[in-house]
Structure 1
């Protein structure tokens, strides 16, 4: 077995800063959305993805990919959103196995309310504390990460 390509001290520092910072940022966003709007960060992300889709609807499989959730987890999350009246689901007319998730008018209104607070949290704890050139570098870096992950299957 070959020796792993260990991280040097600077790489280890940067990796840990990323892990710790992204975990804490996710916790803050989740806490704020729950306390102010009764939504988890994963529920919010589903509402966002549906709001951006044509006719505010997506097939569940596509929504799972877009929202970076497993199909099983997405199904449970959509069930919670359905019970709140924020999402509805229906069968695809041309594919008996396919199911659409639809953003309801109530879901869109809830998203509009939550987005105002959420963007402020993102600005306060992320955008406003990072220099513009560093923010652009983060965008480029994670575009490359997403591409590598997609290529790996």
Structure 2
């Protein structure tokens, strides 16, 4: 079993704290711009990047790392706002697809304008090119190991 040293433990705590604070800042920026919450952006970008801009709700839940119940409630709110629509799965009548609408794509693009500025302001400006390369390499290595272990 691998042991955690105090420096790694401190880094872990800083990593989690930075993540939480960055998301909080992005949420504030969305709110100030009159835009929906961060979780809405996650759904919209996942659908935008999916084949035919649609995913089964179960696939969307996996993509967002949330449970199916939470994604169903979230999809209800986005559908009510006209940002997605649901489509019955032909192969499985119990299943449904979330499909990105034109309004949903437009909202994702509006949100990206604010989000990308937030990333640059709160995150990117603190990193040199060397930091970015090292950070990317380290996080990619961790992600690859986690994928191989599961």
Report the equivalent of 1:49.
46
How far did 1:113 drift?
1.2
Report the equivalent of 2:144.
147
1:76–1:111 CA distance, 2 compared to 1 (3 A):
same
1:60–1:113 CA distance, 2 compared to 1 (3 A):
same
TM-score by length of 2: 0.88
RMSD, aligned α-carbons: 2.0
User: Is 2:113 the partner of 1:116?
Assistant: yes
Query: How far apart are the structure 2 equivalents of 1:146 and 1:70?
Result: 21
Q: Which sections of structure 2, spanning at least 5 residues, go unmatched?
A: none
Query: How far apart are the structure 1 equivalents of 2:18 and 2:141?
Result: 19
How far did 1:6 drift?
4.2
For structure 1, which segment, 29-38 or 99-108, has the greater mean C-alpha deviation from structure 2 after superposition? 29-38
1:7 to 2, 5, 8: 5
Residue correspondences, number: 150
* Contact 2:83–2:104 under 8 Å retained in 1: yes
1:146–1:68 CA distance, 2 compared to 1 (3 A):
farther
